[in-house]
C-alpha cells in the first residue's frame, strides 16, 4: 500500500509541474514580459542592497540604469528558465518512472521523450495565448531535460564508485 502511495504522489508531482508549465504558457506576451521584468528588477535591486550591505559595493544606481540592465538580462534569463522548468519536469518524470518500476535506459528514454513532446505541445499552446511559438524554445526545453538526465547519470556513477571503494 505504501508503495502505491509513493507511485501516485510521484505521478501527481509530474502532473502538477505540467500544470505549472501550462499556467506560465497561458499568460499573454505582455503579462509574461511584465512578470519577467518585475522579477529581474527585484533581483537586481536586492542584489545591489545586499552587496552594499556587506561592503562589496557602495552604489545606488538610478532606476533607468536598473531598467537597462533588466532589459539586457531578460532574453537570456527567459531561456535559462525555459531549460530549468523542463529540467525539473524531467527529474519528476525520472522519479515517477523509477518508482513505477521502469528503470535504466527506458526510464531515461521515456522521460526525455515526454519532456520533448510536452515542450512541443507547450509551444503550440503558446501560439493561442498571443505569444510566439518557437522550435528553438523546444530545443532549449529539451536541453534542460537532457541536462537533468546527464546529472542523474553522473550522480549514479559517483554513488556506484563510492560504494566500490
Alpha carbon distance 4, 12 (integer Å)? 12
Mean pLDDT of the residues in the chain: 89
DSSP 22: H
CB 82 within 8 A of CB 123: no
Alpha carbon distance 86, 82 (integer Å)? 7
Residue stretches of the chain with pLDDT short of 50: none
pTM: 0.85
Alpha carbon distance 96, 94 (integer Å)? 6
**Cell numbers 507511485: residue:** 7
Q: What is the pLDDT of residues 70-96, one digit of tens each?
A: 788 888 888 999 999 999 999 999 999
The C-alpha cell of 122 is what?
507547450
- The reported pLDDT for the residue numbered 70 is 79
**Helix residue ranges, H only, the chain:** 2-26, 29-53, 63-99, 104-126, 135-164
Alpha carbon distance 162, 81 (integer Å)? 33
Amino acid at each position: 500500500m505504501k508503495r502505491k502511495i509513493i507511485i501516485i504522489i510521484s505521478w501527481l508531482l509530474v502532473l502538477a509541474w505540467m500544470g505549472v508549465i501550462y499556467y506560465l504558457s497561458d499568460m499573454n506576451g505582455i503579462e509574461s514580459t511584465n512578470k519577467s521584468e518585475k522579477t529581474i528588477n527585484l533581483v537586481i535591486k536586492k542584489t545591489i542592497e545586499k552587496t552594499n550591505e556587506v561592503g562589496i559595493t557602495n552604489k545606488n544606481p538610478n532606476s533607468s540604469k536598473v531598467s537597462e540592465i533588466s532589459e539586457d538580462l531578460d532574453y537570456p534569463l527567459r531561456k535559462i528558465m525555459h531549460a530549468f522548468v523542463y529540467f525539473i519536469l524531467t527529474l519528476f518524470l525520472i522519479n515517477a518512472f523509477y518508482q513505477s518500476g521502469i528503470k535504466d535506459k527506458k526510464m531515461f528514454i521515456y522521460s526525455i521523450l515526454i519532456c520533448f513532446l510536452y515542450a512541443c505541445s507547450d509551444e503550440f499552446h503558446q501560439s493561442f495565448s498571443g505569444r510566439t511559438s518557437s522550435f528553438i524554445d523546444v530545443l532549449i526545453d529539451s536541453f534542460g531535460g537532457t541536462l537533468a538526465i546527464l546529472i542523474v547519470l553522473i550522480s549514479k556513477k559517483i554513488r556506484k564508485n563510492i560504494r566500490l571503494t
